[in-house]
Structure 1
Amino acid sequence: MNIETTTARILLVDDQTANLTSLAGILKPLQVEVDTARSGPEALAKLLRAEYALVFLDVQMPEMDGFEVAELMRGSMKTRDIPIIFVTALNTEQKYVFRGYETGAVDYLFKPLEPIIVRSKANVFLQLAEKNRQLAAKNRELDKIVGELTETRDALRVANRQLADMALRDGLTGLANRRRFDQVLSGEWTRAIRDGSELSLAMIDIDYFKLYNDAYGHQQGDVCLRRVARALENALKRSTDLLARYGGEEFVAIMPLTDREGARAIGEALRFQVEDMGLVHRMSLIADVVTVSIGLTTIRPQSLSIASADATYVGQAPARFVATADSALYQAKENGRNRVVILDSRMEEV
């Protein structure tokens, strides 16, 4: 940590030029910058414009005496901490000395001045000022470091959030991935049990996607997956719904607070949106464009304590719920593809 050095400055305040010249000569061996002022107002103006390590302030001056100058200095944020040494030819009665200390003096010098004493006292405050300056510089440097560390910490937090989001996103389509789907399904399942609400699930498969890849190549196959993902997103409009890539050419949609008829309507909208985008698929056995088959199921999840004794009842775990939707998808494909099939909890087509 580099601490810059600077020459200390002392301000001498006296209405007599001879006194200023004499005191400046005494301080010359200390190798400091010396400024002078011949009145209180001039001194205050200079104190506001520059930084001073020490002020030698004459007590007796016309217009504004040293005590008044000191009181005004102590009233200003910029000058209140500057050490003041009063210089006076007045007697040393305690009442005068006490008034000086009350107005903020750190020391007194009595005329005629003794050079060794003047330099000794000045040197003490110069050293203190230098230590304070170095401390202030260190604090500024530390503040800068803290600021940089804070920025780095914030950047890392953003990066970590982005990484966490990436870990839950499918790299090709940008949709939620299988891991995110599992998390959301578990949460929605628990919420549906708590609220006594219905939950619907759609399993979606691109029809004859292997033939599409074989005919157009895997690069174009990736384009197809991305376009299907966007079409499904456009059909699934509610912010509470989740669309995820389940794997390969399969997608899955979680639809909270959705009954069977609502799920059917959404399923048909998903199917239509994909077919309507008109992505050519010459190798499809059912259409000239890309289509999807969809399996749906709806349930009102129950806790184990109130679940039906019927072992075929779906509601014991989310995995069985997914299995039902997958069975519905299988039937949709067996029944000719490009269609929606809904199975109830007993695996019967309705």
Structure 2
Amino acid sequence: MNVVSLPEDPPVILVVDDDPSMRAVIRRFMEKDGYRVVEAVNGEQGLEVYKRLQPHLVLLDALMPVMDGFACCTQLQLIASESIRDAEVFTHIKSLQDASRTPVLMITGLDDQESVDRAFAVGATDYLTKPIHWAVLRQRVRRLLQQSQLYQQLELATRELQRLANLDGLTGVANRRRFDEYLDAEWQRLARENLPLSLILCDIDFFKKYNDTYGHQAGDACLRRVADALSFCARRSVDLVARYGGEEFAVILPDTTVAGASQVAEEIRAVVNTLEIAHAQSAVSHHVTLSLGIACTQPNLNLDPTMLIASADAALYQAKAAGRNTYFPQTCAP
């Protein structure tokens, strides 16, 4: 049976209780077991300490002046909800993930069913009555910390699996599934905010001849280098580079006009040229080149984002017809 071990650094336990003698006893007991203890004298102070230190566990008294434990626990859950939303945007900020599932053990002299039900209703993870049975407290604290750590490990693993599910296995940029999801989400967001959306479709010129000449392993390496170049040029956090299919890539540029997208497209074209990836069978150059089609529109909730893709695809066709190794911009009506 696998056992979840506690972190090597001492877990931080926040004790919120208006009784100084009770806080002192709990502190000594918890510190004896190797935990780091911080104290708060009421719910309001407890919330401030919680937000500042983000403890691993909260031991919370129910009956206190200023703000009781039930109101405090309710506020803790609101803070946790905000942390979860923030963590969805800033997925690499671990402190927000840790704060999202901090267990709360309510310790109180109230032992009636109504108080117990109320404690769990406001978000308490567990409930312990006074006078405290210290052996029970020790085991519950350890169990809650282990469960919290396991939850965080599962959450991080789930996020990593989700991240991998959205990536193209060969190039490391977003895959077609992620492209479709992101385009739809940005279409709706920018429609509400009345902002423009640009899309660049990029195609490696004469890529079939490249594979036929140099082999598929060289072709895979070429795709990776081109993907890296696109990621270098579309550098804003809101920009998305995706492998659209085969040797074709797409770049979603939110809040970007056709002029801004044209600048990005020219930079992409120039950077790929400077890579000087040999392509002896190219009818354009002795090196790998790109053709790019740009489309820009003001999203409309009554329309489908596929019209933007169709427009960019038409622009890409025009870039190829113009001799390749170039880009063609166009604005499509919303």
Unaligned segments of structure 1, at least 5 residues: 1-73, 79-134, 305-315
Q: Which of 310, 331, 336 is matched with 2:323 structurally? A: 336
Counterpart in the other structure of 2:47: none
Counterpart in the other structure of 1:251: 249
8 Å CA contact retained: 2:187, 2:300: no
Which structure's CA Rg is the greater one?
1
8 Å CA contact retained: 2:188, 2:300: no
Q: Which of 269, 272, 278 is matched with 1:271 structurally? A: 269
User: 1:200: how far off?
Assistant: 0.9
Counterpart in the other structure of 1:182: 180
Counterpart in the other structure of 1:219: 217
Secondary structure of 2:153 counterpart = helix
User: 1:230: how far off?
Assistant: 0.8
Counterpart in the other structure of 1:12: none
Unaligned segments of structure 2, at least 5 residues: 1-20, 26-132
Letter in 2 for 1:235: C
User: 1:229: how far off?
Assistant: 0.7
Secondary structure of 2:242 counterpart = strand
Q: Which of 306, 318, 322 is matched with 1:319 structurally? A: 306
User: 1:330: how far off?
Assistant: 1.6
Counterpart in the other structure of 1:167: 165
CA offset digits 1:96-129 (Å, max 9, x no partner):
xxxxxxxxxxxxxxxxxxxxxxxxxxxxxxxxxx
In structure 2, C-alpha distance between the alignment counterparts of 1:288 and 1:144, rounded to whole Å? 66
Secondary structure of 2:325 counterpart = coil
User: Is residue 2:260 matched to residue 1:262?
Assistant: yes
Counterpart in the other structure of 1:205: 203
User: 1:219: how far off?
Assistant: 1.5
Identity of aligned residues (%): 43
8 Å CA contact retained: 2:295, 2:332: yes
Counterpart in the other structure of 1:90: none
Secondary structure of 2:148 counterpart = helix
Letter in 2 for 1:154: Q
Q: Which of 174, 191, 194 is matched with 1:196 structurally? A: 194
Letter in 1 for 2:188: T
Secondary structure of 2:203 counterpart = strand
In structure 2, C-alpha distance between the alignment counterparts of 1:198 and 1:148, rounded to whole Å? 48
User: 1:243: how far off?
Assistant: 1.1
Counterpart in the other structure of 1:155: 153
Structure 1: which 4+ aligned runs deviate by more than 6 Å? none
Q: CA RMSD in A?
A: 2.3
Secondary structure of 1:288 counterpart = coil
After TM superposition, the structure 1 = structure 2 runs for residues 3-42 of structure 1, keeping only pairs within 5 Å, are none
Aligned residue-pair number: 206
User: 1:137: how far off?
Assistant: 4.8
8 Å CA contact retained: 2:258, 2:330: no
User: 1:343: how far off?
Assistant: 2.8
CA offset digits 1:77-113 (Å, max 9, x no partner):
77xxxxxxxxxxxxxxxxxxxxxxxxxxxxxxxxxxx
Secondary structure of 2:169 counterpart = coil
Secondary structure of 1:297 counterpart = strand
In structure 2, C-alpha distance between the alignment counterparts of 1:143 and 1:197, rounded to whole Å? 50
Letter in 1 for 2:316: L
In structure 1, C-alpha distance between the alignment counterparts of 2:301 and 2:228, rounded to whole Å? 36
User: 1:141: how far off?
Assistant: 4.4
CA offset digits 1:30-53 (Å, max 9, x no partner):
xxxxxxxxxxxxxxxxxxxxxxxx
In structure 2, C-alpha distance between the alignment counterparts of 1:245 and 1:184, rounded to whole Å? 13
Q: TM (normalized to structure 1)?
A: 0.55
User: 1:172: how far off?
Assistant: 1.4
Letter in 1 for 2:294: L
Q: TM (normalized to structure 2)?
A: 0.57
In structure 2, C-alpha distance between the alignment counterparts of 1:218 and 1:171, rounded to whole Å? 15
Counterpart in the other structure of 1:51: none
